[in-house]
């Protein structure tokens, strides 16, 4: 029996918190991170700043060149975590008695099948999905009235489609993807929109001439020749089929890699090579598990066994080795962790969630919420 799944995703969460707390910033390109005069990096960007190409993990100096009028603010991670707890409290209250899967500080899945019903036929499923629309609008309205922040919601018969729906009409959108229309909805989207398709897989598919989900739907060959054993799952996703259950607990909380040197070293060439290798290893594991990370941590140990860790969180999930490497180098330099030779150097990622779809486009009707 098909399910009724809602996916709630806060809009430009970190930057929106800053704009709410400081109303004079409303409508301005807010960039959360280091100043453009420093060697800092971008933690998050408002929609106004994203129009200039500013994104998470970008060097602050580059962001400053792309968006000279940007308002740079230092991140307040404790503030964002407190806000996340308040929002998830609202979600829990709205979803009393149903399964909730929180997948990051600013997004969650809710399974309303028990409340709205399900069905075996498309007609029954679509009727159940329609009954979830008022629940989605009420949830958005409560988040706005109690927290002063907007959220986007997707409603569909499974996690894959619900997440695509929440991304589709941002910001402040509510998108219902009927079961009868799911295949056509997916056709014009880029392959990167599908769960689990990161930069590496996208490149492989593009190399085979498969650029849109419609290309995958029409492909008559065996996708295992391109993406290995994941091929059958990728084909199911291309047709909007996804039987993954909601999970109220995180199976994988973090991924890490460490290296203990034969001799303590402060050689920058050696340390950079180590970080490049570790970044590539972590990125490979993220791709294999179809995950992305919000937090990167660097760990160092000196000759006297003193051990220090430093971490940094971003709003847009990380999947690529180059971004992990850039952040790792910045953390080492920011806190002068190589002021003396290192016995051990480690890199880790946490705040794991499913790989995130790129911005969706191409002629599908967007349903804006009337809750405000």
* Cα end-to-end distance, the chain, whole Å: 34
H helical segments located in the chain: 13-21, 47-50, 60-66, 77-94, 113-116, 122-147, 159-168, 182-186, 199-207, 213-218, 224-227, 231-238, 268-288, 321-334
Give me 2's structure tokens: 């098909």
Of 48, 101, 107, 315, catalytic: 107
Neighbours of 220 (CB within 10 A): 4
Give me 301's structure tokens: 């140990």
Q: Looking up tokens 């000279």, which residue turns up?
A: 68
Give me 16's structure tokens: 């929106």
Q: Looking up tokens 């997948």, which residue turns up?
A: 103
Considering only CA atoms, which of 208, 201, 189, 188 is closest in space to residue 234?
201
CA 175, CA 364: separation in Å to the nearest integer? Answer: 10
> 151 - beta bridge partners?
10
- Whether 48 sits among the annotated catalytic residues: the reply is no
| Tally of helices (H runs) and strands (E runs) in the chain | 14, 12
CA 29, CA 36: separation in Å to the nearest integer? Answer: 14
Cis check for the bond before 114: say yes or no (omega within 30 of 0): no
Give me 229's structure tokens: 């054993």
Give me 313's structure tokens: 């969180």
Q: Looking up tokens 């003396």, which residue turns up?
A: 340
CA 84, CA 332: separation in Å to the nearest integer? Answer: 28
For 15, 31, 43, 67, the CA distances from 48, given in Å and listed in that order, are 10, 9, 15, 10
CA 200, CA 290: separation in Å to the nearest integer? Answer: 11
Give me 364's structure tokens: 């599908």
Catalytic residues: 107
């Amino acid at each position: 029996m098909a399910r009724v799944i809602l996916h709630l995703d806060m809009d430009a969460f970190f930057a929106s918190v800053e704009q709410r707390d400081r109303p004079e910033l409303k409508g301005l390109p807010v960039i959360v991170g280091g100043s453009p005069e420093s060697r800092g990096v971008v933690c998050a960007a408002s929609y106004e700043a994203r129009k200039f190409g500013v994104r998470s993990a970008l060097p602050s100096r580059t962001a400053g060149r792309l968006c000279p009028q940007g308002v740079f603010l230092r991140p307040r991670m404790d503030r964002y975590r407190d806000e996340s707890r308040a929002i998830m409290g609202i979600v829990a209250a709205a979803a009393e008695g149903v399964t909730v899967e929180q997948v990051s500080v600013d997004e969650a899945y809710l399974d309303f099948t028990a409340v709205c019903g399900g069905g075996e036929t498309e007609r029954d499923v679509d009727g159940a999905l329609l009954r979830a629309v008022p629940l989605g609008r009420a949830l958005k309205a409560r988040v706005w009235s109690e927290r002063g922040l907007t959220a986007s919601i997707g409603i569909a018969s499974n996690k894959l489609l619900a997440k695509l729906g929440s991304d589709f009409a941002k910001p402040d959108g509510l998108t219902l993807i009927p079961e009868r229309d799911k295949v056509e909805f997916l056709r014009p989207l880029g392959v990167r929109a599908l769960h689990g398709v990161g930069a590496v897989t996208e490149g492989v598919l593009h190399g085979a001439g498969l650029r849109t989900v419609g290309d995958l739907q029409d492909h008559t060959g065996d996708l295992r020749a391109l993406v290995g054993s994941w091929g059958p799952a990728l084909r199911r996703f291309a047709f909007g089929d996804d039987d993954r259950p909601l999970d109220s607990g995180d199976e994988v909380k973090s991924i890490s890699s460490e290296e203990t040197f034969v001799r303590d070293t402060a050689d920058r060439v050696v340390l950079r090579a180590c970080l490049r290798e570790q970044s590539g290893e972590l990125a490979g594991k993220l791709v294999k598990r179809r995950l992305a990370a919000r937090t990167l941590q660097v760990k160092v140990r000196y000759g006297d066994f003193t051990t220090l860790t430093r971490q940094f969180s971003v709003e847009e999930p990380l999947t690529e080795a180059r971004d992990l490497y850039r952040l790792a180098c910045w953390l080492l330099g920011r806190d002068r962790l190589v002021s003396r030779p290192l016995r051990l150097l480690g890199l880790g990622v946490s705040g794991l969630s499913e790989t995130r779809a790129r911005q969706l486009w191409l002629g599908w009707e967007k349903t804006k919420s009337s809750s405000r």
